[in-house]
Amino acid sequence: MRSKNSAVINETNRIGVLTPEGPQTALSWETVLPPSSGLDLESGKYLKIWHGPQHPGVTGNMALELTLEGDIIRECKTHVGYLHRAFEKLMERRKYIQCFPIVCRICVPEPDPNEYLFAAAVEELAHMEIPERAIWLRTLILEMVRVAFLTMGLGGQAGSFGLGPIGQWAVTHRDYLLDLFEELTGGRVYHMYILPGGVRRDLPEGFTDRLESVLKKIEKLISSVEKVMFNNAVFKARAKGLGVIPPEWVVPYGITGTNARAAGVPFDVRKNNPYLVYDQLDFEILTGTASDVYERTSLRKEEILQSIRLIRQIIEHMPKNGPVRHKLPNVLNWKVPAGETYVRAESGRGELGYYLVSDGSEYPRRVHVRGPGYTHAMVVLEKLADGQSIADLAGIMVSLQTCPPEIER
Amino acid sequence: MSLKDLISPFYAWERALEKPYTINKPIDDREGADRYRGFHVNDIEKCIGCGTCEEICQNEAIDMVPVEGIEAGNGDSGLRPKIDYGRCCWCGRCVDVCPTGSLGMSNEYKWVTTDPEEFRFIPGFDDKPWNNEEKGYRRDEESWLLAPELHKMPVVEPDIRKLTFEEMALGYDDDLALDEAARCLECGLCVETCPAHMDIPEYIRAIRENRLDDGLKILYESNPFSESCGRICTARCQYVCALSHNGEAIPIRWLKRYITDKTADQKNEILNTNNNVPESGRNIAIVGGGPSGLSAAYYLRQYGHSVTVYEKHEHLGGMLRYGIPEYRLPKAVLDREIQVILDSGVKVITGISIGKNVTLNQLQDQYDAVYLSVGAQIGTGMPIDGMDTPGVQIGVDFLDRIASGERPDLGEKVVVVGGGNTAMDVCRSSVRLGAEEVQVLYRRTEQEMPANREEIEEAQEEGVAFHYLAAPVSISRNGNKLHINAIRMELGEPDSSGRRRPVPISGSEYTIEADTCIMAIGQKVDASFAKSSEIKLTRWGTFEVDTDTLATNIPGLYAGGDCQTGPDDAIRAIADGKKVAYSINKFLEGMN
């Protein structure tokens, strides 16, 4: 079965047509770009401070240059460059198989979509079929890692508002999942499970039972979080109405994932551009309306439960046995036929895409990673921070689920 | 805001007494999962030091280093992987790619030392507590990142090829050659094993990159008989190929043939054969125009020396012409290959026997240096009664007759004695001459047979019957049939060659009736022409030389090829030719 990613971006699948109001027209550049602050910095009214790169309220390694008036942010500029490893350029000097230890590092908490997309792109160019069971196993690990990522994100969101215990619970529950990853793939964080042609190994004995017990624990966690966080007067007071993304920003800024869905835009690559076995699974796109920090967090909580349901469906429907990988040629001399492709998948942060060009040699000619964090962190954050209290900035940033390595590729 | 919203957060206490999970575990002695990718383990004895792990590691965490107690040898570089855990990212690609499967990862992940240098070590060699750990990540056949399967050489079907001396191997087409070239790991273990040290990984790379001209140049750097070797080489390289440990070796010989077949018409242009090297003014005589002599001639010409080859037969080529049947090496191929050597300016005098028409001393007087490469052309018989019975032949003489164009009638039933490649050539030629029943008698078992496995299989396909653990004890004639009295053998203790010695089983004699019996059990050197000279011989009748320079005890007189080593394969003789060209040139430079 071929990867369901298409090299051609179908016009009807563009985000624009999927908004509730129908097709959107792009906004003019004046409204898209942050306005010039026009602040008189010499007036003594303002204070410039750096929020990050070392700051617990910053996701990953990036810095925000803030101009404050009292504790109100009057201007926010994002600064990146603290972890630039030139992932894309490095890959041009690596054989295809050697790229896998690189791509997984583009998102530490959720590495598998990167592995999947790079493999899918290579398979597409090499016209490689992958075994049925491998397709299901890939879907399984992608959903597992989504749960792990969103669970940790939930803890991070709580932490950004000072709700410490939830962060600890979340990290613990992610650890239960990491134990399962360790068992399945041999690695806790960087799984390197997906390879061109399939996956590295089949499920170990009794794995699904252990997975089910962890899923139950996470469901129980969610019910605790429901009480302690979502019904918490302080959290409600601070998160509701904070960091509202207007639906009309979604198309011009390229906002995807939960950030777009919380704004009422029903876009999910799993549904709109089904890949792997998502077209055989029963699920609906979850959307919100308020589009604030509370809504996004709440929606992510619902998506954890959705992914848990998906994992159960996958385990129920996947072929019980069969090969898990297609034999590769000698990977050290593997020449992938010339061509180019763009493949996309729904990561926990939004649409992740890989554009891969092969010139027919043993090395990729060009790899471009379309990380959802790019727009969310670089542009949307600057806009949302404007006029907010500095105390809420961490909450806004975490609610966007930004991931700096996706920016500094 | 409701009252519920104020009270609800206190539910946090419901988890207050939960046992912490993330903090306690590293302190507890928690074992890694069964397939955990922890510190490496390596089966040092199984590892061949091919360096494929080093090649695939994108972090350059692996260095191949010499290890005390492990010597470089046939198919083993003597190096072992040393891993820098400051660089290793534990991806396990090195394990997935390991050709022998010796490298693995233990499930051990906790190890503390105050010395950062200790985080660089040689798994399996440096003493670590996890060295014998069974658990951890290992590769299985499915996850092997190499291609173990060989594309077989297309050959003429046995039923058809039995009827003709036409060449049976058809050669790789472009796609097959590219696929096979892509399987190569470039570990270079083959280079060391090849007597001529041909740069195999480089010419295979040339195929992959479609640079066949370069490929041909690389071939000719070490072997001017690449076209012949591409067909009939014993391919020792393939026996040490890293891939052969778990799959099938790269068909190095066929890839060599692919390059020479593709460039056959443009060899002189590509090699710039007639390159007008400045003449050195030195004259060298080469006695014997076989692979060793002609190789020496080719390389000596590259130094600018004037070379004259003396050949006893009418045609050049030695054993390649007179010992190898047409179906393996067509004479036309050999001729065009020799022509390239001659085109470089080598002079040839054929039909001259040293010792008869001209003496060795005369040559030594006339030339600055003389290279003896007369081969081991005398076939030996067995010390048994009836060797002179009509119908009993010697293998090399038989092949010589076939090569000269004779097609003798062998009768219906042929018995071939011997288990080497000559025996295979003889039995398969007998099939082609119309013998209906050909059987090979070999005194050991198939396992000990020195003939190439491929040859044995192809002979079997052609209907040759193999009778192991049997040897003739006498031959007599009864009417128009030969009666070969044979005896059964069993294997005893290993002899000096490491093969188990055959021991006759008394009372197990039996008789085989046949029309022809051909002995292909060995050859020896005819050194009678050197009797008048002071040259030293070994007790086997071969020339005694300094193996580094191939110089005999007489200055300016060199000997190599089969007449120095005893009967061996072509590539060994070619390697001697190249080596002697170098040492003769050194010697001549010393005279200046």
pLDDT at A12 over 70: no
Which of B270, B293, B312 is the C-terminal boundary of a domain? B270
Question: Are both B410 and B517 inside the same structural domain?
Answer: yes
Question: Are both B258 and B294 inside the same structural domain?
Answer: no
DSSP state of A40: -
How far does the CA of residue A122 sit from the closest CA of chain B (Å)?
Answer: 15
Q: Identify the residue with better confidence: A253 or A25.
A: A253
Share of chain B above pLDDT 70, in %: 98
What pLDDT was estimated at residue B28?
Answer: 66
Query: How many degrees, rounded to 5, is the angle at CA B263 between CA B258 and CA B269?
Result: 155
Share of chain A above pLDDT 90, in %: 71
Question: Are both B389 and B442 inside the same structural domain?
Answer: yes
Beta-sheet strands, E only, within B226-372: 283-287, 306-311, 347-350, 369-372
Question: Quick one: pLDDT band at residue A6, thresholds 50, 70, 90?
Answer: very low
Question: Are both B488 and B509 inside the same structural domain?
Answer: yes
How far does the CA of residue A256 sit from the closest CA of chain B (Å)?
Answer: 31
- Domain boundaries of chain A, sorted by first residue: 11-31+113-120+129-331
Find out whether the peptide bond into A53 is cis, omega within 30 degrees of 0: yes
Asked if A204 and B52 come within 8 Å (Cβ–Cβ), the reply is no
Please choose, from the candidates B425, B358, B370, B371, the residue with its C-alpha nearest in 3D space to the C-alpha of residue B397. B425
What pLDDT was estimated at residue A255?
Answer: 92
CB contact residues (below 8 A), chain B span 421-480, against chain A:
none
- Does residue B126 lie in a domain region? no
Please spell the DSSP secondary structure of B25-72, one letter per residue: HHHTTPPPPTT---SEEE-TTT-----HHHHH-TT--EEEEE-TT---
Residue range(s) defining the domain that contains residue B249 = 158-270
What pLDDT was estimated at residue A21?
Answer: 55
d(CA A170, CA B368): 88
pLDDT at A35 over 80: no
d(CA B380, CA B520): 8
What pLDDT was estimated at residue A13?
Answer: 38
Which residue among A183, A228, A327 places its CB closest to the CB of B9?
A228
Please choose, from the candidates B366, B398, B393, B390, the residue with its C-alpha nearest in 3D space to the C-alpha of residue B382. B393
Asked if A233 and B185 come within 8 Å (Cβ–Cβ), the reply is no
Question: Are both B422 and B517 inside the same structural domain?
Answer: yes
Question: Are both B356 and B410 inside the same structural domain?
Answer: no
d(CA A53, CA A63): 4
- Does residue B95 lie in a domain region? yes
Whether residue B486 contacts residue B382, with contact meaning beta carbons closer than 8 Å, is answered with no
Asked if A204 and B143 come within 8 Å (Cβ–Cβ), the reply is no
pLDDT tens readout for residues B238-295: 999 999 998 899 999 999 999 999 999 898 888 887 767 888 889 999 999 999 999 9
pLDDT tens readout for residues B532-555: 778 888 888 889 999 899 999 989
Question: Are both B515 and B546 inside the same structural domain?
Answer: no
pLDDT at B96 over 60: yes
Q: What is the pTM of this model?
A: 0.87
pLDDT at A8 over 60: no
What pLDDT was estimated at residue A14?
Answer: 39
Share of chain B above pLDDT 90, in %: 57
Tokens 């190095």 — which residue?
B252
DSSP state of A380: I
Question: Quick one: pLDDT band at residue A31, thresholds 50, 70, 90?
Answer: low
pLDDT tens readout for residues A141-186: 999 999 999 999 999 999 999 888 899 999 999 999 999 999 999 9
DSSP state of A376: I
Question: Quick one: pLDDT band at residue A15, thresholds 50, 70, 90?
Answer: very low
What average pLDDT does the structure give for chain A?
88
Mean pLDDT of B143-161: 87
pLDDT tens readout for residues A358-374: 999 999 999 999 999 88
Tokens 């010139």 — which residue?
A359
Please choose, from the candidates B469, B413, B476, the residue with its C-alpha nearest in 3D space to the C-alpha of residue B441. B469
pLDDT at B348 over 90: yes
pLDDT tens readout for residues A309-367: 999 999 999 999 999 998 888 999 999 999 999 999 999 999 999 999 999 999 999 99
pLDDT tens readout for residues A273-288: 999 999 999 999 999 9
- Does residue B3 lie in a domain region? no
Asked if A182 and B33 come within 8 Å (Cβ–Cβ), the reply is yes
d(CA A137, CA A140): 5
Question: Are both B345 and B253 inside the same structural domain?
Answer: no
Question: Are both B308 and B415 inside the same structural domain?
Answer: no
Which of B270, B297, B327 is the C-terminal boundary of a domain? B270
Asked if A231 and B58 come within 8 Å (Cβ–Cβ), the reply is no
CB contact residues (below 8 A), chain A span 180-209, against chain B:
182-183, 185-187, 190, 192, 200-201, 204
DSSP state of B73: B
Question: Are both B263 and B223 inside the same structural domain?
Answer: yes
Q: Identify the residue with better confidence: A140 or A54.
A: A140
Q: What is the CATH number of the domain that holds B259?
A: 1.10.1060.10
> Is B147's Cβ below 8 Å from some Cβ in A?
yes
Which of B483, B507, B523 is the C-terminal boundary of a domain? B523
- Does residue B6 lie in a domain region? no
Least confidently predicted of A48-57, A246-255, B22-31, B55-64: B22-31
Question: Are both B305 and B211 inside the same structural domain?
Answer: no
Mean pLDDT of B467-487: 90
Tell me which amino acid residue A5 is.
N
Q: Tell me which architecture the domain covering A11-31+113-120+129-331 has in CATH.
A: Orthogonal Bundle (1.10)
How far does the CA of residue A302 sit from the closest CA of chain B (Å)?
Answer: 19
Q: What is the CATH number of the domain that holds B397?
A: 3.50.50.60
d(CA B332, CA B342): 15
Question: Are both B266 and B280 inside the same structural domain?
Answer: no
What average pLDDT does the structure give for chain B?
90
Q: Complex ipTM, two decimals? A: 0.85
In chain A, residues with a C-beta closer than 8 Å to the C-beta of B61 are none
What pLDDT was estimated at residue A26?
Answer: 52
Least confidently predicted of B34-38, B221-225, B366-370, B405-409: B405-409
Q: Strand B369-372 to strand B283-287: parallel, antiparallel, or no bridges (unpaired)?
A: parallel
What pLDDT was estimated at residue A150?
Answer: 95
- Does residue B1 lie in a domain region? no
pLDDT tens readout for residues A123-143: 999 999 999 999 999 999 999
Asked if B182 and A327 come within 8 Å (Cβ–Cβ), the reply is no
Domain count of the fold of chain B: 4
pLDDT at A205 over 60: yes
CB contact residues (below 8 A), chain B span 67-106, against chain A:
89-93, 96-97, 105
